[in-house]
């Protein structure tokens, strides 16, 4: 047990055919505990996140990085004697929820620090970093099994430009879903992860990870088709990226994402969308369609769009992001 005051992880050694292997299992259900005055539940649910440079020199969620840097000395203390003695053994890093994000950072660190073969297994984990982090860890970690429930809100956050790893490879969807449901984040009990897997075959459960956006244009007249589902969360993100690409603003927005916070990023995005709307009637219609779908996704079905000012666009972002993060907060609360 690492750090006996909080019990945030367990390190185990393999037996029989797994002799020489090591398991690091990191909890995701310790959200009420505090580590260095940081409320761990808030790490996932904070809408005003910042970015930090991780150990592999890519940009990651500042809160996840802060927690990982706090636990790293204890990890080193426990793993040093095991991995120095078993340099050829596989290290299996496992985690659910926030524990999955920390397991991801642990797996990347173990690979670079010790050079062992590393396998990563996450359940309902949030997105940890930006594109370069996803690409780099996809390359460095030997095997990555990212398991999700398709109605679980936690793997949907933080929102774009954060993305999941493994990059352009696969994820394991343990159950299909419809509406986003905070109760689908649990590892145990109906309708949690373990008892909702609809197959006994990894091959049948695997799907391609959605890391590259698809061209999507949303029409305002069709906005009532939207619903509070993973499918529409992805389509809304794709439509946003499509507009930025068409307007030639995607590169500038992505650059801003690497140096800012959620607050500054959404402010910049809202002002950029206002300028794009003014540039051409076609862009204005595309943005109106996007915002209309966002409002219906967030449950604001009676709100009509009368202007495309930065202030109004920012409000729509706040409403949409807020609806999703309320579901995430409820999912976190259910773990207590």
Q: What is the pLDDT of residues 243-283, one digit of tens each?
A: 999 999 999 888 888 877 777 888 999 999 999 999 999 99
Residue 336 lies in a domain: no
Q: Identify whether residues 52 and 147 lie together within a single domain.
A: yes
In a domain, 2, yes or no: no
Q: Is the pLDDT of residue 44 over 70?
A: yes
Together in a domain, 36 and 180: yes
> How far is Cα 75 from Cα 199, in angstroms, rounded to an integer?
35
70 found inside a domain:
yes
Q: Is 92's pLDDT higher than 90?
A: yes
Residue 4 domain-assigned (yes or no): no
CA pair distance 126, 148, nearest whole angstrom: 10
Q: What pLDDT does 105 receive?
A: 96
Render the burial of 241-268: b for 16+ CB within 10 Å, e for the rest: bbbbebbebbeebeebbeeeebeebbbb
Number of domains observed in the structure of the chain = 2
Sign of the Cα pseudo-torsion (298, 301, 303, 304, in order): positive
Determine, yes or no, domain membership for 131: yes
Evaluate the omega torsion of the peptide bond into residue 166 and state whether it is cis, within 30 degrees of 0.
yes
Q: Of 164, 191, 211, at which residue does a domain stop?
A: 211
Q: Is residue 69 part of a domain?
A: yes
Query: What is d(CA 99, CA 8) in angstroms, rounded to the nearest whole number?
Result: 9
Asked if residue 224 and residue 206 are part of one domain, the reply reads: no
pTM of the shown model: 0.88
How many whole angstroms separate alpha carbon 284 and alpha carbon 259? 28
Which are the contacts of 82, defined by CB distance < 8 A and separation ≥ 6?
Answer: 11, 13, 22
User: Do residue 177 and residue 258 come from a single domain?
Assistant: no
CB 61 within 8 Å of CB 101: yes
Q: Are residues 167 and 310 in the same domain?
A: no
* Contact predicate 154/126, CB 8 Å: yes
Q: Are residues 199 and 235 in the same domain?
A: no
pLDDT(188) > 80: no
Alpha-carbon Rg of the chain, whole angstroms?
21
Tokens of 181: 């449901």
Q: DSSP letters along 238-288, please? A: HHHHHHHHHTT-HHHHHHHHTTS-HHHHHHHHHHHHHHHHHH-HHHHHHHH
Domain boundary, last residue among 179, 211, 243: 211
- Distance CA(327)–CA(318), nearest Å, equals 14
**Would you place residue 2 in the very low, low, confident or very high pLDDT band (cuts 50, 70, 90)?**
very low
So what's the pLDDT on residue 36?
47
Rounded mean pLDDT, 71-98 = 86
Give the integer Cα–Cα distance in Å for 128 and 134: 8
In a domain, 104, yes or no: yes
179 & 234 share domain: no
- Mean pLDDT, all residues of the chain: 84
Tell me: pLDDT of 1 over 50: no
Q: Of 164, 183, 211, which marks where a domain is finished?
A: 211
> Are 160 and 282 members of one domain?
no
193 and 315 assigned to the same domain: no
Q: What CATH number is given to the structural domain containing 20? A: 3.40.50.1820
User: Are residues 242 and 172 part of one domain?
Assistant: no
CA–CA gap between residue 103 and residue 9 (Å, rounded): 10
Note whether 91 and 22 are within 8 A (CB).
Answer: yes
Same domain as 127, residue 75: yes
Query: In the prediction, which pLDDT does 209 show?
Result: 52
Residue span of the structural domain in which 276 resides: 220-329
Q: Is residue 183 part of a domain?
A: yes
* Cα separation, 24 vs 1, whole angstroms: 10
Are 19 and 129 part of one and the same domain? yes
Count CB neighbours of 9 within 10 A.
25
């Amino acid at each position: 047990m690492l750090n006996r005051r909080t019990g945030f992880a367990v390190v185990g050694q393999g037996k029989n055919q797994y002799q020489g292997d090591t398991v690091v299992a990191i909890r995701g259900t310790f959200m009420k505990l505090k580590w260095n005055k940081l409320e761990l539940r808030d790490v996932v649910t904070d809408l005003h996140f910042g970015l930090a440079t991780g150990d592999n020199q890519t940009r990651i969620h500042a809160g996840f990085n802060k927690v990982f840097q706090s636990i790293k000395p204890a990890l080193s203390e426990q793993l040093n004697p095991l991995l120095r003695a078993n340099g050829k053994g596989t290290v299996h890093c496992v985690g659910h929820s926030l524990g999955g994000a920390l397991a991801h950072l642990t797996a990347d660190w173990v690979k670079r620090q010790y050079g062992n073969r590393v396998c990563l297994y996450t359940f309902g984990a949030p997105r940890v970093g930006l594109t370069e982090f996803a690409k780099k860890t996809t390359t460095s970690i030997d095997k990555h099994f990212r398991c999700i429930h398709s109605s679980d809100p936690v793997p949907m956050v933080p929102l774009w430009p954060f993305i999941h790893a493994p990059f352009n490879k696969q994820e394991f969807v343990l159950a299909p879903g419809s509406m986003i449901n905070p109760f689908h984040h649990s590892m145990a009990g109906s309708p949690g992860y373990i008892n909702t897997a609809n197959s006994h075959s990894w091959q049948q459960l695997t799907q391609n990870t959605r890391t590259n956006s698809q061209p999507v244009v949303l029409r305002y007249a069709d906005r009532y088709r939207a619903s509070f589902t993973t499918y529409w969360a992805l389509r809304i993100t794709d439509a946003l990226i499509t507009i930025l690409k068409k307007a030639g603003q995607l590169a500038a927005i992505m650059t801003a994402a690497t140096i800012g916070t959620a607050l500054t990023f959404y402010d910049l995005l809202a002002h950029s969308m206002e300028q794009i709307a003014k540039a051409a009637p076609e862009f204005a219609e595309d943005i109106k369609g996007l915002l209309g779908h966002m409002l219906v996704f967030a449950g604001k079905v009676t709100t009509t769009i009368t202007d495309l000012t930065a202030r109004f666009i920012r409000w729509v972002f706040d409403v949409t992001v807020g609806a999703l993060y309320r579901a995430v907060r409820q999912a976190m609360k259910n773990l207590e």
